[in-house]
Structure 1
Amino acid sequence: MNKPVAAVSLKMYFSQSRTLQYCRELKSLIASEEGLIDNVRLAILPDFLAIPQAAEILKDTNIILGAQDLAYEDRGAFTGEVSGADLANFGVKVAEIGHAERRTIFREDDDMIAKKVAAAKRNNITPLLCIGEPEKTSPKQAAKLCIQQVRSALRYATPTEIWLGYEPYWAIGAAQPASPKYVSEICQNIREGLPELASLTILYGGSAGPGLITKLDNTIDGLFLGRFAHEPKAFLEVAKETTTRK
């Protein structure tokens, strides 16, 4: 079992000032929880504009700084994109790739996602590769689709470490997450179906919140949170629960 993970993406919900205040509050809360950071990997993924200052706030905390995306090339005529090389220089260690919103709203295809995974590896950034089935189906069929998504994303490069963010698309933003039994069975099948990946961390997202991790099978290494962790205290609560993954 990999060291458990509690990660949060702030998407584009917060202003820059609120994002930085979130980082300060989280830093303070973690400092008061002796030993917590030794038992769980905490990661925060703010928007691009907040990354330089967030890096400064979090630099002595062991909280992992992540990015919500990265360009598939490091340099060139790519208007509006953000280079993985620059993210790495700011201390970014994890980059989210292939989220359902990127695949649907921004029309990122499988080839684009695979190129971004290669860019992450090139810059020593761990990809947080988001996978999931568009519609609710059988756990076996959902796992098969997810495994296909992973193998497609690794067509150009296989990073030393990979985080998988399993988020059934139909559960993202839903009032309730997928059932623990459904999620557990799918993630068990995903892990068993990818024996060639030696260092694989599986996270569940999709309306994930406090109390959920304790109901999931131990094949799942943690949670990838969204709006339920918009308050640092809620994120801390989940982080404490995630230590049960040991």
Structure 2
Amino acid sequence: MRRLLVAGNWKMNASVAQTEALLSALCAAEFSCDVAVFPPFPYLAQAVQTTGNSTVRVGAQNVASESSGAFTGEVSASMLADVGCRLALVGHSERRSLYGETDAQVLEKTRQLLANGLTAVVCVGETLEQRQAGREEAVVAEQLALLLRELSNYDWRNIVLAYEPVWAIGTGETATPEQAQAMHAFIRSLLQEKDPALAAATRILYGGSVKAANAAELFAQPDIDGGLVGGASLDATEFSAICQA
């Protein structure tokens, strides 16, 4: 049985005070799902310290595809592990569209995380134009192809997938539960082709304007194993309600 995971991507939002207040509120609550937060880099060490021995896990929003060296501005997986991070996002649509992150880079970043004992939360998803053209499955399959071909079943034990239709991120638009379930089932079928046990064990999250009002219906779908939450994760009350859902 896959345990639900609700993860909050803070994007480029936070302060020392906000980090303390939000995480203190989360740590004081009790949830029946796994909970993770992805603060910006400057607040990761503070987040790890604030969450302490709680069940809330801390992750980074990005990671370098190299292990060390002359890469100004980059942060390696070993550094993330060193400050206490447990996981990191890879291939978020904003990284792909704004910074040109490729599928090959997603693979290398995932490898770096796995080599340092971190969980990779790999994001996939299509644009509105791609969905309107009926290409959503082909796009997602292509985004996953390298990972499925190059990584072993052992590697996949520490990979979580997050399906985020780009047209539903930060727009207020949300895929219907039926649309989300259909894509999640398709993704699981790709995993099934690699190994049935892998398909049964891998968690696939839904992201794209997840709110307390729609979380329960989304999470009730058989192939949706939680959510990657954006803006709503910056409000402790709203994010807690999503976790409770």
Same fold (TM over 0.5): yes
| Sequence identity (%) | 31
Q: Which moved more, 1:92-101 or 1:193-202?
A: 193-202
- Structure 1 residue runs without a partner (length 5+): 242-246
- Aligned counterpart, 1:189: 186
Alpha-carbon distance in 1 for matches of 2:178, 2:132: 12
Contact 1:126 1:163 survives alignment (8 Å): yes
Paired letter, 1:237 = A
Alpha-carbon distance in 2 for matches of 1:87, 1:96: 12
1:128-207 alignment, distance < 5 Å: 128-135=121-128, 137=131, 141-154=135-148, 156-158=150-152, 159=155, 160-195=157-192, 196=194, 198=198, 199-207=201-209
Contact 2:167 2:173 survives alignment (8 Å): no
1:94-105 alignment, distance < 5 Å: 94-105=87-98
| Structure 1 SS opposite 2:96 | helix
Contact 1:16 1:49 survives alignment (8 Å): no
Alpha-carbon distance in 1 for matches of 2:215, 2:138: 23
**Over the residues paired in the alignment, what is the CA RMSD in angstroms?**
1.8
Alpha-carbon distance in 1 for matches of 2:148, 2:72: 25
| Structure 1 SS opposite 2:27 | helix
Alpha-carbon distance in 2 for matches of 1:86, 1:104: 26
- Aligned counterpart, 1:227: 231
Q: In the comparison of the two structures, how many residue pairs are matched?
A: 234
- Aligned counterpart, 1:244: none
2:215 to 205, 213, 216: 213
Contact 1:7 1:43 survives alignment (8 Å): yes
- Aligned counterpart, 1:61: 54
Alpha-carbon distance in 2 for matches of 1:156, 1:115: 10
Q: Which moved more, 1:11-20 or 1:201-210?
A: 11-20
The one-character-per-residue Cα deviations of 1:184-225 (angstroms, maximum 9, x if unpaired) are 111111112211361311000011111323223121000110
| Structure 2 SS opposite 1:194 | helix
| Structure 2 SS opposite 1:120 | helix
- Aligned counterpart, 2:22: 22
Paired letter, 1:221 = D
Q: What's the offset of the Cα at 1:107?
A: 1.1
Q: When you count helix as a share of all residues, which structure comes out higher? A: 2
1:88 to 77, 81, 90: 81
- Structure 2 residue runs without a partner (length 5+): none
Paired letter, 2:170 = G
1:108 to 101, 110, 114: 101
Q: Where has structure 1 moved over 6 Å in runs of 4 or more?
A: none
